[in-house]
Structure 1
Amino acid sequence: MGPMTDAALVLFSGGQDSSVCLAWALDRYDRVETVGFDYGQRHAVELQARQAVRSRLAAGFPRWAGRLGEDHFIEMRGFGAIGGTAMTQERAFEITEKGLPSTYVPGRNLAFLTYAAALADRRGIPVLVGGMCETDYSGYPDCRRDAIDAMERALNLGMAQDFRIETPLMRLTKAQTWGLASRLGGEPLVDLIVRESHTCYRGERGELHAWGHGCGDCPACELRARGWEEWVAGGRPELAA
């Protein structure tokens, strides 16, 4: 397969952040493919949310439908088992003795980027897009832009490539992420993300809150709900381009 110079591969979990990143990429690139990972996460329902988000994006946004390419799925349960965290096991959500959240899976984003880069190499795609964020995040060291920059250099050296890793949410708060969704796709995209994306670490899809489905008290739900409330309280502004 020859190189697709105006193409991107989105690391797409089916959560709020990666759904906004997918819309962001579709707004910028002629061809956008997605890749998801099964690492044994407790909230495996997000893997179903991925397809719902993709389907509604294609159906509801004609200008993006023709740009949405193939979806890829990578099984990484062996990697997830190494971490032994609250993200993959029935454990309390807490801060560990290392000062990191118990949901932190060591090196998860680094592993995701390695697999994604290998796939992008074979697909001829020069841009990787991820939802990592260090402004309003859960304390994961591999979400920091310094870590992403180091990973970008390592991948390009190790694969003799010229990949670019885009992180459109890196400097945004969760409230600003809602604003970005609004700018990209208006109320239809905001509604899609509320109803179809999944963030809750417990994997609960029962109650639909104003900000989406979830248990309401795990760290992911609290962060998502707080961002929604701040965005609404601020008048639901769109994020300037």
Structure 2
Amino acid sequence: MSASKPTKRSDNSLGALVLFSGGQDSTVCLAHALSRYAHVETVGFDYGQRHSVELECRARLLKEFADVFPDWAGKLGPDHMLDITGFGQIAETSLTGKSEIVMLDNGLPSTFVPGRNLVFFTYAAALAYRRDLPVLVGGMCETDYSGYPDCRNETLQAMERALQLGTEKDFQIDTPLMWLSKAETWALADRLGGQPLVDLIIEHSHTCYRGDHETRHDWGYGCGDCPACELRAKGYREWQASL
């Protein structure tokens, strides 16, 4: 679901920039964008993550997309990697440092990186402005999520308006997962790309906060007990039970 009013132009005439981390949600968003928009590019961010696994996974995923889905390969344009490690230094959390993953007194997990999505969209919009890509696609969700305030639809509606005002460009933020549970996200992947996309997510995407890409589960790789793994596993099992 988009965080904005529908564009007056048809989707199949637009170019899109996908915020692509190499995780499950951004992988489904990439498939969504390739099924909907005329031209799709991707952007990733090195913000000083505590591990580089997701950055390594995203390169493999992009190659797999081109190989497994030849009909989409012609739409898939350049990938852009942006170095914003300075941001990670001022927003040190369990995702950018070595501290343990715990719940904080404010009710948020210690993995919350303050302002991360706002920074991501600002950088993405600057890149999209130059690349003439009016749609920014992100995997933010406020249904099954860790409570991050910068994943909420209200936040992204405000961000979209700020980008439009600040650039004089009619940017649209498209968040197809906003109102989906994790089980529904797995189902969407199946609808978009069938078993090949589901298999690609299981084998090549990375979500685990601890960077474990060696321990294999039916839902993919991960430690199995961090909040990201728990959400992913729960969603996968609910989706499987519904089939």
For 1:30-179, list aligned pairs within 5 A: 30-179=38-187
Give how far 1:154 is off.
0.5
Q: Deviations over 1:69-127 (max 9, x none)?
A: 00000011110111121111111211112211100000000000000000000001100
Match of residue 180 from structure 1 = 188
**DSSP-derived class of the 1:27 partner:** helix
Amino acid at match of 1:212: G
Match of residue 203 from structure 2 = 195
Question: For the Cα contact (< 8 Å) 2:13–2:38, is it kept in 1?
Answer: no
Amino acid at match of 1:162: D
Q: Deviations over 1:35-82 (max 9, x none)?
A: 000011123210011111111110011110100000000011110111
Q: Deviations over 1:218-237 (max 9, x none)?
A: 111111011101111111xx
Amino acid at match of 1:70: P
Q: Does 1:9 pair with 2:24?
A: no
Aligned sequence identity (%): 64
- The whole-number CA distance in structure 2 between the counterparts of 1:83 and 1:125 is 29
- The whole-number CA distance in structure 2 between the counterparts of 1:205 and 1:6 is 35
Match of residue 29 from structure 2 = 21
Amino acid at match of 2:65: L
- The whole-number CA distance in structure 1 between the counterparts of 2:232 and 2:112 is 17
Runs (5+) with no aligned partner, structure 1: 236-241
Q: Deviations over 1:192-233 (max 9, x none)?
A: 000000001111111221000111111111110111011111
- The whole-number CA distance in structure 1 between the counterparts of 2:51 and 2:239 is 26
RMSD, matched Cα = 1.0
Question: For the Cα contact (< 8 Å) 2:13–2:37, is it kept in 1?
Answer: no
Runs (5+) with no aligned partner, structure 2: 1-11
**DSSP-derived class of the 2:36 partner:** coil
TM-score by length of 2: 0.94
